[in-house]
Chains A and B, each alone.
Chain A
Amino acid sequence: MAKAFQRIYTRLEGITKATVVLNARRVMNDELATVDGRLSQVVKISGDQVTLQVFGGTEGIATNSEVVFWGEAPSLNVSDHLAGRFFNAYGKPIDGGPHVEGEHREIGGPSVNPFRRAQPSQIIPTGIAGIDLNNTLVSGQKIPFFADPDQPYNQVMATVALRADVDKIILGGMGLTNDDYLFFRQSFENAGKLSRIISFVNTTDDPPVERLLIPDMALTAAEYFAVDKNEKVLVLLTDMTLYADALSIVSNRMDQIPSKDSMPGSLYSDLAKIYEKAVQLPSGGSITIIAVTTLSGGDITHAIPDNTGYITEGQLFLRHDSDTGKVIVDPFRSLSRLKQLVIGKQTREDHNHVMNTAIRLYADAADAKTKLENGFDLSDYDLRALDFAKEYSLQLLSIDVNINVTEMLERTWKLFAKYFTIEELSIREDLVEKYYGH
């Protein structure tokens, strides 16, 4: 790493848990440095006084530590050799393999000109009806799972990734437990798809501030394959809540005034910079982002899920359905904003109507359930709605379903015919004639 023009300093003026301050000249904003061998980045310059954010934390750093400025922002070597490899937050191999040669590219680069984007239009089928039928994914989309920490979100995400028809899968793991890291690794290996997968991983063993580099590393690699190679890339980011927590640690150390839930005031922009890298390019390349945002106690009004929801194109909720004992994709709170671009176009004409009607009837069942809990008598309609909801949950919403979209529509029509009259469906007449009771 040694470069001819490196500038070296040996006197620190101040140290906090995540930052150090020193006097230095001609330092660039965002430039990398090492402090006693630990990677750090310039976050504030005031005259000669420079504040460095030390990714690994400042434990044991002394005021006479050696500080070396690199003269460049964090970068990644990009080339086809990235495929199949595992890296840490700095882009260093952790799989025992060789250093990756390639074009040296700064991470966290500029945004795509919105006018140079194409409209997303390709469905990404997952076989899970709670997703394909009700919350269809589209390539170029960005969507998180909003999940409680005890839910199997990483498993669902791995399933989705492995079923999706994409050229590359890039995993950005932030604060992954070692077990989850090994789970991903094994799932990818067992599926025989390791050569299509690139991973940037920060585990719970690593310092939390390092996580801040993971999404940019993963997305720089993604942009290489999507923009330069016209490939379809799927990026998995888990867990973005831990990323945001790291942001708040740094802003706190820099004495910034916190806004809601002690998050920095720039949280929205910080998250948007990551998620907006999702793109469909006219050349055919695309970046799709599926992320995980863990909730605390299911609270989506907390600043992290709240800001995320305003940025991403929908969100997927997992829920344990006590009536059937299955984990389902919650039809009420989940949403895919881009589904309208593909449903009824790449899928059958009745998709939109079947989806909306089934959810409305499922909502009626929820009302009936409330009535039941409050000790009221149920009408005949209520009872039918409840039976429908149970079967709908088992046959469609459950995450262990794996069928194609047309089969999902057929199954739902069968349930409609079994439990409801045509009037109760209130679907456009020509569709009813074609599909009801067949």
Chain B
Amino acid sequence: MQTQTTGKVRGIIANLVTIEVDGPVAQNEICFIHLGDTRLMAEVIKVSGKNASAQVYESTRGLRVEDHVTFAGHMLEVRLGPGLLSNNYDGLQNNLATMDGVFLKKGDYTEPIDREAVWDFKPLAKVGDKVTAGDWLGEVMESWLLHRIMVPFIMTETYTVETVVEEGSYTVDKTIAVLKDSKGKTYPVTMVQKWPVKRAITAYKEKPRPFKVMETGVRTIDTFNPIAEGGTGFIPGPFGSGKTVLQHAIAKQAEADIIVVAACGERANEVVEIFTEFPKLIDNRTGRHLMERTTIICNTSNMPVAAREASVYTAMTICEYYRAMGHRALLLADSTSRWAQALREMSNRMEELPGQDAFPMDLPAIISSFYARAGIVELNNGELGSVTFIGTVSPAGGNLKEPVTESTQKATRCFYALSQNRADRKRYPAIDPMDSYSKYLEYPEVISYFEKKMGPEWIDKIWEGKNFVRRGKEAYEQINILGDDGVPLSYHINYWKSELIDFIILQQDAFDSIDACTPMERQEYMYTKVIEVCRKDFTFEDFEDCSDFFKRVINVFRQMNYSEFQSEGFKRYEIEIEELLTQKVQA
């Protein structure tokens, strides 16, 4: 019989505590430091002889040498079960809504899952079925979503279903099935299971390459650099370039069943915006409130630093859990740089030899293994589930040559570079059309998906548009060097064609009720229209004639963007454009 390991505090620097232990202790094991009646949660991050170093998930004010410590015998775990949806958790999965008082209290740990709530359970497995981890034993309706009750992921063998309860209303702690292993040992299974967050959940058959696209309603992403379902992307950008507005737009509009927003070391008011607005906003696709599909993991910048690191893992684990039920989950983490900084603070306090910019040496490995947890998977029963992951990065000084950005770029397939220059000129979203890329555009699986869905020319049209933008940029540089009169008129035309694409397709007003979200059908329509204009040859008297003309065209196209799709107004503007074009297009 193993007895519980205990220890005594021996040293304190900020939130790093050294503990002398009296028994076995594991790396990443959770322990609790007793401060009076309060117990402060901490995680072992280094063991050396009899001393364990632990990062405390709370303020260490008031701790003393000799304070008592007990070890939990497991790593940081989350509870997974029905009732996760629509909740607001801190980085350690404490429910923020059930905490008392205005201020966060030290050692105030609340239940992540409501143990009193009753769920209508329907069995899916039958007595005698052979099951393994992740297999569906039954299901409950969690608000609008079918929540599968699975064989716990920690169960590694093949089991036989001994009993399974009948359809009925139960709380999460009810034993809904009993499983038997090959040796005849039985295991009761409830609707809740625990999982250590730092381990990936791999209870699926295989993880194919992503092969379909996740729509976001953001034109510059969907049309120019689409992200695959189960894909990875990241958004680096200096402050003020619109990272958060863009992430919120994606959270509101993305084509996913579940959105987990990990507010990691960012501003509390941004989370409040989600708390306040999402319960009111309607998801156009399902007609339900956005909050009904959203779970927030919130560890804002003023909350304890160590829990910041935990928060991204907690969020990822919840996504993987819903993926195993055959759902499409989207994880948005803002910002992964804060997580890296939390790692740096600890590494620094442990006096490890620093890598570049004082970040720990293993930062690239940590980042890439985290992004690798995303993906579309085929479950044991043949169903598909996915975790799409988009992280933001906040590069110091806006300089992309820094360790977090570089490591992330290696680990992800979509790169949405936010440009200070575009932001200064209020060209939002400030995603740079030239620097950004989506590797998925080169995936044969994705190309054939587009061919089926949007017709055979779509991919070519994307590249054609990108080329117009590139030519426009080159022309713009020449005009700047040589002057308006110093370049042929065709340079001006090329420049204005790229401006047309920029203003009508790439720029989008996130605060306009109509323009904010563009469904794919409308994107296809508008993009095709714009490209058709770009393909035309024009005759102008001089460059002023050219710029006046395009300004007028852009103005009318803009009015189209502000109008209801295919409404009367929309069509009126369309005719206006045709009339404008006939004046200047070569016969």
The reply to whether chain A is a binding partner of chain B is yes
Residue A190 is within 8 A (CB to CB) of chain B in the complex: no
Please determine whether A115 and B551 come into contact, CB atoms closer than 8 angstroms: no
Bound form: Cα–Cα A119–B303 in Å: 19
Residue of chain A at shortest CB distance from B553: A423
Residue B448 is within 8 A (CB to CB) of chain A in the complex: no
Q: How large is the interface on A (under 10, 10 to 19, 20 to 34, 35 or more residues)?
A: 35 or more
A18-50 interface mask toward B, CB cutoff 8 Å, 1 = contact, 0 = none? Answer: 000000011111110000000000011111100
Please determine whether A259 and B357 come into contact, CB atoms closer than 8 angstroms: yes
Residue A1 is within 8 A (CB to CB) of chain B in the complex: no
Within 8 A of B (CB), among A119-164: 119-120, 140-141
Which of A87-95, A308-316, A394-402 is near enough to bind chain B? A308-316
On chain A, the residues within 8 Å of B562 by CB distance are 428
- In the assembled complex, the CB of A121 is this many whole angstroms from the nearest CB of chain B, namely 9
Which of B18, B302, B555 contacts A46 (CB under 8 A)?
Answer: B18
Q: A140-B269, A309-B240 are in contact. Are A360 and B425 (CB under 8 A)?
A: yes
Within 8 A of B (CB), among A242-265: 256-260, 265
Q: How many A-B residue pairs have CB under 8 A?
A: 217
Residue A352 is within 8 A (CB to CB) of chain B in the complex: yes
Residue A377 is within 8 A (CB to CB) of chain B in the complex: yes
Residue B96 is within 8 A (CB to CB) of chain A in the complex: yes
Please determine whether B344 and A265 come into contact, CB atoms closer than 8 angstroms: yes
Interface centre among A106, A278, A423 (most CB of B within 10 A): A423
- In the assembled complex, the CB of B208 is this many whole angstroms from the nearest CB of chain A, namely 37
On chain B, the residues within 8 Å of A324 by CB distance are none
Interface centre among B101, B269, B397 (most CB of A within 10 A): B269
On chain B, the residues within 8 Å of A279 by CB distance are 268
- In the assembled complex, the CB of B569 is this many whole angstroms from the nearest CB of chain A, namely 9
- In the assembled complex, the CB of A435 is this many whole angstroms from the nearest CB of chain B, namely 16
Residue A359 is within 8 A (CB to CB) of chain B in the complex: yes
Within 8 A of A (CB), among B91-118: 96-97, 99, 101-106
Residue A101 is within 8 A (CB to CB) of chain B in the complex: no
Which of B65, B298, B338, B358 contacts A268 (CB under 8 A)?
Answer: B338
Residue B61 is within 8 A (CB to CB) of chain A in the complex: yes
Which of A199-207, A269-277, A409-417 is near enough to bind chain B? A269-277
Which of B126-134, B271-279, B408-416, B436-444 is near enough to bind chain A? B271-279
Bound form: Cα–Cα A301–B402 in Å: 13
Please determine whether B358 and A258 come into contact, CB atoms closer than 8 angstroms: yes
Please determine whether A376 and B484 come into contact, CB atoms closer than 8 angstroms: yes
Residue B378 is within 8 A (CB to CB) of chain A in the complex: no
Please determine whether A257 and B348 come into contact, CB atoms closer than 8 angstroms: yes
Within 8 A of B (CB), among A87-114: 106, 108-114
Interface centre among A29, A108, A117, A313 (most CB of B within 10 A): A29
Residue A303 is within 8 A (CB to CB) of chain B in the complex: yes
Which of B9-17, B76-84, B148-156, B197-205 is near enough to bind chain A? B9-17
Residue B489 is within 8 A (CB to CB) of chain A in the complex: no
Which of A9-17, A181-189, A331-339 is near enough to bind chain B? A331-339
Residue B66 is within 8 A (CB to CB) of chain A in the complex: yes
Residue B63 is within 8 A (CB to CB) of chain A in the complex: yes
Please determine whether A380 and B63 come into contact, CB atoms closer than 8 angstroms: no
Residue B474 is within 8 A (CB to CB) of chain A in the complex: no
Residue A61 is within 8 A (CB to CB) of chain B in the complex: no
Bound form: Cα–Cα A114–B267 in Å: 10
Please determine whether A426 and B357 come into contact, CB atoms closer than 8 angstroms: no
The 3 closest A-B pairs by CB, nearest first: A301-B397, A272-B301, A276-B302
Mark A residues whose CB is within 8 Å of B: 25-31, 43-48, 73, 106, 108-120, 140-141, 227, 256-260, 265-266, 268-269, 272-273, 276-281, 300-303, 306-307, 309-311, 313-315, 332-333, 335, 337-338, 340, 352, 356, 359-360, 363, 370-371, 374-377, 379-381, 422-424, 426, 428-429
